[in-house]
Amino acid sequence: MEFTQTEFDIMVRQLLCDDAVSFEMLCQIADKTLSHRVALWCRQDDCLRGRGYEEDLMQEIHLRLMKTTVSHFLLQSEGVNNDPQGFRGWLITVAKNLKRDFSDRICLRDFKTREKERNAAYDHGYCDGRRNYRTKSDAEHFAEVWEGR
């Protein structure tokens, strides 16, 4: 679903108003434009697939848009940028960049967690120097922990 010219005009008025800024229309436009794309991007990404990160990513997109829409899109040297199609393209670009950064952070965090687990397994004798894992029974593991190895 796409946003309408009227919705875009309301958003511009809200964001450029001197009163307390309302981000409601901005977030509605972002949801209409990006929700299905974000869901698709998360399904296609190995680090994000099936882990429920769609809502987290949309929240990051909302926050970035709240911080940057006025300064990076609406206010241009020629005046106010009133191009809804240009805004749509800018929205998608911002979202793609955030998705890439978000995925990189999740992948790096997962990698570091796996490395810690591997190192702990190595330190406790669950694998040899070549990282070949050998299994231990629960009784062997409990005995080693109990003896303080």
Mean pLDDT of 27-48: 93
pLDDT for 126 equals 55
pLDDT for 112 equals 78
Percent of the chain with pLDDT over 70: 74
pLDDT at 19 over 70: no
Mean pLDDT of 20-39: 87
pLDDT for 94 equals 96
How is residue 38 written in tokens? 């974000």
Task: Give the mean pLDDT of the chain.
Answer: 80
pTM for the model stands at 0.66
Mean pLDDT of 45-52: 89
Mean pLDDT of 17-24: 66
Does residue 140 or residue 30 have the better pLDDT?
30
